[in-house]
Structure 1
Amino acid sequence: MLPLREVLTALLCCFLCPLPGAWAGAVPPQTINAGAGPVPSSGNPWAQSQPQLPRAPNVVLILLDDVGFGAASSFGGPARTVAMDRLAAEGLRYNQFHTTGICSPTRAALLTGRNHHRVGFGTVSGFERPAPGYHGLWNPATATVARVLHKAGYATAAFGKWHNTPNWELGPAGPFDRWPTGLGFDYFYGFQGGQASQFETPLYRNTTPIEAPRTAQAGYHFTTDIVDDAIGWIHTQQAYAPDRPYFLYMAPGATHAPLQVPKEWVDKYRGRFDQGWDRLREETFARQKKLGIIPANARLTPRPEGLPAWDSLSPEARRLHAREAEVYAAFLAHTDYEMGRLIQQVRAAPGGENTLVMYIVGDNGASAEGGLTGSDNDMAEFFLMAPPAALETRLARMDDLGSVARDNHVPVAWAWAFNTPFQWTKQVASHLGGTRNPIVISWPARIKDRGGLRSQFVHVNDVVPTLYELLGLAAPAQVDGVAQEPMDGVSFAYSFVDPKAKSAPRRQYFETLGNRAIYADGWMASARHGLPWALFSRKEDFDRDAWELYNLNQDFSQSHDLAAQYPEKLQQMKALFEQEAAANQVLPLGLGTGQSNQAPYWFRNSKHFSFHPDLPRMPSLAAPSLLRSHRISAAVDMPVQGGDGVLLANGGRFGGYVLYVQDRHLVYENNFMGTRSERLVSATAIPAGPVRLDYRYQRSNPGLWGGGQGQLSINGEVVAELPLPRVGPPAMDGSFDIGQDRGSTVSAAYPGSFPFGGRLLEVNIDLE
């Protein structure tokens, strides 16, 4: 009789060899014991705690941000994506892969295999509502692929942007169960939130805030950093667990605003966009047909009403907008170069040929959030806190675009051009410009159709079911004792071996921000709700939205509306959307278009807060709001000489406030979204010894960003007063700091983090 250990090893090998059923016949799926119960008393508990996965492939899942279908050269676009081209030459390109149309929802669907509303992400993190489908709390009945693969024996890691944790759980006290490391990833290195400076990134390692390994001035860039860290992580796995497969999720912040990239990359594209967005679409469309990326009968959709023709612009405006596009293309090319470094390391390592790489080119289409004229202060203008700067002002600082000094974004018309040949942009889940993104898949050990093209309908929620089939795993019925909801996605592994296979029969709804569509076996009904560059002007009059009907089997680019020709078919599709929306917690529409004032922030019911100088960095979004009347009081012990430095700071160069000491004088600076700044400076110097330093703000203007009166005092004596016309929120990617100003600094008046040089006892905030 064989020893029990050898029998178990043989069985594990039979069940876990990566032979997908689409190729090797019916492979019995592995049933994963995903924490459903205790380890049995019999057998070797050590062996059961370390599953063996002979010949299981590594998996690298790459997700870019805000990249349109027609942006990358691999799909006919103007940005040279060498790594993507190389990967496509050794694998497959898909031209009918779909996302949800916006950030957090796509990521939730990608990592679970479920529709985004069922995971709790009907909208982006930061816009949650206390309603099913929109709460942003990651439904535990929809476990991530990282959790499942970890239970099956994989090492798991996430790098880059993570935009799926509620803002109120981003503080240093947690809870952390909805951070990447609480959702199945052994390791996380990146940033939280929807966007961040690429040069002054607020980094986390697992759940601990850390500072970047070098400054922007010393050459730091986020994409390069996360690839370096990912390569180091792979090397660690190879050194200490060479037989353990890994799952690596790489999600850079590119090409989401701010569009920031080293200048030498931007210079490579100088003059490449002088022809303008209308001509670029025509050029991209022609390249797509030449490459065979789109069918010969595909039609180029017209420019939407409201977008200006390039020829209607002044020469000065054309010069500015051409530079904005140069920065975007450079950002994408630089990102692809860094992804190429990662892929090269993956392939060169032992088992590199048996590594499945999925390269998803965007979590949605290119973004219209730069507005009609583009922006070099994106958040201030997007949230209507400031109008776009005058053309003359923007031209004068045009060379700063792409640098740490600018929060820049492209105009809508460039986004539309980067989404060639489709209509519309990110947010518009009703149309393919918002939802159809490229994907490139390579697995040299298994995929032998090198350079192949696939045109099956695929949705982002199909990725996880596909991985499970390829790895020989069954989706678990329970994970950590929680019964799991069934998969919404379907495996597309069948397409790896049969390029002509018909798309799997399916229906798939789309909905973000009230834009909605329903797909069923080649037909799509679509209803756009509002304009993507005017998000906050939308009304919830959904019954007035016009529905369109398309036969995508014959109309690749969604160019010919058949609603008038087939009214009965349209009514059938609309009814199907209502059915799917009800089943997936989409209704009522409109819940994802605004922010709730009921979010359970830790400071919600408090008016007094006390902080000590050993406080770790906290995201600005997780700190108490000081838009109301308040007092900041710092207890310090000033030395006889020196004592300069920051007492409290919240935000960064694109908005915030800071209380600090400079040249022995108390200073308060109000930075309104990087558009204007007011400084209060004490008339007298701060004495040595124990001192109380106060700032008081009395709000007098009830408007949204209304201002009031600022006042400084030393030991109770008023030493400065100044009206503050506008007081706004801190920068989205800023930090709340005590005793220094980490990362992007609120003020340019001091060097670096400017740590306080005296003894800071505590800082108190009192809300009135």
Structure 2
Amino acid sequence: MGANAKGMLAGIGFVAAMLTAPSALAQPAAMVSAERPNFVLVLVDDAAYMDFGIYGGEARTPVIDRLARRGMMFSNYRSSPLCAPSRAMLLTGLDNHRTGLATIPEVLPPEHRGQPGYGMSLEPGVVTVADRLQAAGYRTYMTGKWHLGHDEGALPDAHGFDRSFVLDASGADNWDETPYMPYYRTADWFEDGQRTHLPDEFYSSQFLVDRMIDYIDTGAGSDDPFFAYLAFQAIHIPVQAPREFTDHYADTYSEGWESLRQARTRRAIALGLVPETTEAMPLPEPMRAWTDLSEADRALYARSMAVNAGMLEAMDHHLGRLVEHLEATGQFDNTIFIITSDNGPEPSNPVAEPGFTTWMSLHGYSRELENLGERGSYAFIGPEWAMAAAAPFNLFKFYVSEGGLRVPFVIAGPGIEAGGSSAAAGFVTDVTPTILDLAGLSDDTQALTGRSLRQVISGESPTAYQPHEAIGFEVSGNSALFRGDYKLVRNMPPWGDGGWQLFDLSLDPGETRDLAGDRPDVLASMLADYNIYAATNGVLELPDNYDIHNQITINALKRQLEFYGWQLALVLVFGLGAIAAGIRWWFSRRRQ
């Protein structure tokens, strides 16, 4: 099939998919039970599968662990590999290409700009879980990272949230109103759709919980239940946390990333999260061996991972204040908590990018051991620690190997048996239909990509998906398809080679044994299913020679020119004038 025919098929499939989107919101609260539960949806940013204590992580997360023991934890749940697509899927129950967030604007190639599914904000007609719950009589609140558009009509107030205090960018500083990368000129926060500013005393996890408590309290005394979406900045770059949360991890990571990867793999097997046949891929080239680092670099990287754990603990601590508030106000017993991550751990090493250290200095950042994680510091974990944190899986955020997709998922509350665990497959698109089903709005889920997990969490069924059903993912060329125990995978450079691989996850969740050559029949069948998925959802092929890291750099430079173009033009004019004056002076001297 030619490229034009493929594009036409994709377009037709996309339009057909959009036409199946629901045309009307759920109506009337009177149609649902008077005992409708509240919902607290907690999204952690860039948390690895094993980062929570209950999943075998090193960080102290007693609040999340307690909620997990009160309800059910999933060992086979997957999100998308990148933040904005995951958030769009989480809040709509639709595939990311059907929402308008096929990828993130920071990596968008110019050829895709403005195409259906690639508008970089929720498209007209896309309905969120907040829209649906609001129409059914719920109070709806959000605090934290939005990243689903920032133009007029693109913020939470236009998508079903009664109250919201949000960051529209992919990230920002956790101590003040400062951007975290050159793609952004400022860190823009909005309350109820209007540009606002942060208080002088600010730490992201604390503030987001404070504001959420304020919003919930505005409805005190109301008979209407609430939906609270709490999208933490933790543990996104820059990794930052108060020293009281980081100091007790001072020695936790001193043995290095290879040691952590091995230890987490052993713990995952011991906890029953993965089968005993699981093996973990070794760190790929050009990742560095821990022993090859200088003593100073080992200290800096160990401290960076300590700050990462401390940031997660700080987030858990402040989540605990919300839990305590709901207990004190009699709302806890009727509240369902859902806690998960948007994707796997962040591998970026920003200081390796040309000019980044200069940009850091201009924005008041330093990367020094003495104050790492505190105000004015800039910490990150980098690819080696990200690979270790993703254990026992392969790769990390951006990629569709299990390290990028498989994340923790905890659900607890009324009607969910305490101490439960499930190995049933679950996906980020299942969260919205599950919430709607638990709210008594199951008739409102039929046109969604995902499906309700209610029967799994109630014990009525061991699974929500049948072995023959195919579930696809694609973000910026990184593509995966799940069908029963098999997984089809394509990871793009630099950490992949762009070729298709096939794995049996029931035996090899570490994706160490490619079966593509041994099972050509399964490979061909799953490739056919993937092509159907791509055509149905409007997936666009990447331009030739696309490189995600190069595209980030190009897009950031373009943004810098937009921000500072006139200043650069003045510098250029004055510089050329100075050169011309110098040349005239030189010639005048020669004539003399």
TM range (shorter): 0.7 to 0.9
Matches within 5 A, 1:231-242: 231-239=213-221, 241=222
Matches of 2:255 and 2:168 in 1, distance apart? 37
Matches of 2:219 and 2:32 in 1, distance apart? 15
* In the alignment, structure 1 residue 224 sits paired with structure 2 residue 200: no
Matches of 2:403 and 2:507 in 1, distance apart? 17
* In the alignment, structure 1 residue 517 sits paired with structure 2 residue 480: yes
Matches of 1:596 and 1:262 in 2, distance apart? 31
TM-score, with structure 2 as normaliser: 0.83
SS at structure 2 position matched to 1:356: strand
Match of 1:12 in 2: none
Q: Which has the higher helix share?
A: 2
SS at structure 1 position matched to 2:431: helix
287, 297, 300: which one pairs with 1:320?
300
Matches of 1:183 and 1:250 in 2, distance apart? 15
Asked if structure 2 preserves the Cα contact closer than 8 Å seen for 1:304 and 1:424, the reply is no
Match of 2:72 in 1: 92
Match of 1:210 in 2: 196
* In the alignment, structure 1 residue 446 sits paired with structure 2 residue 415: yes
More moved, 69-78 vs 143-152 = 69-78
SS at structure 2 position matched to 1:509: strand
Shift of residue 387 of structure 1?
Answer: 8.7
Distance 1:388 1:595, change over 3 A: closer
Distance 1:471 1:49, change over 3 A: closer
Matches of 2:172 and 2:464 in 1, distance apart? 38
Match of 2:3 in 1: none
Asked if structure 2 preserves the Cα contact closer than 8 Å seen for 1:68 and 1:364, the reply is yes
Matches of 1:554 and 1:295 in 2, distance apart? 7
Shift of residue 388 of structure 1?
Answer: 11
* In the alignment, structure 1 residue 155 sits paired with structure 2 residue 139: yes
Shift of residue 582 of structure 1?
Answer: 1.2
SS at structure 2 position matched to 1:626: helix
Match of 1:434 in 2: 404
Name the structure, 1 or 2, with higher relative contact order (CA <8 Å, separation 6+): 2
The aligned amino acid for 1:447 is I
Matches of 1:475 and 1:699 in 2, distance apart? 62
Distance 1:51 1:231, change over 3 A: farther
Shift of residue 624 of structure 1?
Answer: 5.1
406, 416, 439: which one pairs with 1:471?
439
Shift of residue 68 of structure 1?
Answer: 0.8
* In the alignment, structure 1 residue 200 sits paired with structure 2 residue 176: yes
Matches of 2:29 and 2:52 in 1, distance apart? 44
Matches of 2:271 and 2:367 in 1, distance apart? 40
Match of 1:741 in 2: none
446, 449, 460: which one pairs with 2:428?
460
**Larger-gyration structure (1/2):** 1
Shift of residue 90 of structure 1?
Answer: 0.7
Matches of 2:165 and 2:366 in 1, distance apart? 37
The aligned amino acid for 2:143 is F
74, 85, 91: which one pairs with 2:54?
74
Matches of 1:127 and 1:147 in 2, distance apart? 29
Distance 1:298 1:432, change over 3 A: same
Distance 1:629 1:204, change over 3 A: closer
Shift of residue 115 of structure 1?
Answer: 0.4
SS at structure 2 position matched to 1:337: helix
Shift of residue 421 of structure 1?
Answer: 0.5
Matches of 1:456 and 1:708 in 2, distance apart? 64
Asked if structure 2 preserves the Cα contact closer than 8 Å seen for 1:159 and 1:230, the reply is yes
Distance 1:184 1:395, change over 3 A: closer
SS at structure 2 position matched to 1:140: coil
SS at structure 2 position matched to 1:66: coil
SS at structure 1 position matched to 2:164: strand
Shift of residue 200 of structure 1?
Answer: 0.4
Matches of 2:137 and 2:367 in 1, distance apart? 56
Matches within 5 A, 1:364-763: 364-370=343-349, 378=350, 381-382=352-353, 385=356, 397-429=368-400, 431-443=401-413, 445-448=414-417, 450-476=418-444, 486-498=447-459, 501-505=462-466, 506-531=469-494, 545-590=498-543, 593=548, 594=551, 625-628=563-566, 697-699=570-572
Matches within 5 A, 1:97-112: 97-112=77-92
Shift of residue 208 of structure 1?
Answer: 2.5
179, 182, 191: which one pairs with 2:167?
191
Matches of 2:77 and 2:528 in 1, distance apart? 24
Q: Which has the higher strand share?
A: 1
Match of 1:762 in 2: none
Asked if structure 2 preserves the Cα contact closer than 8 Å seen for 1:277 and 1:414, the reply is yes
Matches of 1:709 and 1:234 in 2, distance apart? 59
Matches of 1:383 and 1:488 in 2, distance apart? 41
Shift of residue 383 of structure 1?
Answer: 6.9
Distance 1:598 1:75, change over 3 A: closer
Match of 1:535 in 2: none
Aligned residues: 532
Distance 1:35 1:504, change over 3 A: closer
The aligned amino acid for 2:526 is M
SS at structure 1 position matched to 2:487: strand
Shift of residue 596 of structure 1?
Answer: 12
* In the alignment, structure 1 residue 363 sits paired with structure 2 residue 342: yes
SS at structure 1 position matched to 2:565: coil
Matches of 2:73 and 2:309 in 1, distance apart? 21
Shift of residue 513 of structure 1?
Answer: 2.1
The aligned amino acid for 2:412 is S
Matches of 2:26 and 2:73 in 1, distance apart? 37
Matches of 2:327 and 2:23 in 1, distance apart? 29
Distance 1:471 1:395, change over 3 A: closer
Distance 1:523 1:137, change over 3 A: same
Runs of 5+ consecutive residues of structure 1 not aligned to the other structure = 1-30, 37-47, 170-174, 371-377, 478-484, 533-537, 539-543, 605-620, 631-695, 701-706, 712-768
Alignment deviations for residues 15-46 of structure 1 (CA, whole Å, 9 cap, x no partner): xxxxxxxxxxxxxxxx996399xxxxxxxxxx
The aligned amino acid for 1:192 is D
* In the alignment, structure 1 residue 258 sits paired with structure 2 residue 238: yes
The aligned amino acid for 1:467 is I
Runs of 5+ consecutive residues of structure 2 not aligned to the other structure = 1-21, 178-186, 579-592
SS at structure 2 position matched to 1:627: helix
Matches of 1:509 and 1:592 in 2, distance apart? 22
Shift of residue 330 of structure 1?
Answer: 0.7
Match of 2:25 in 1: 34
The aligned amino acid for 2:415 is R
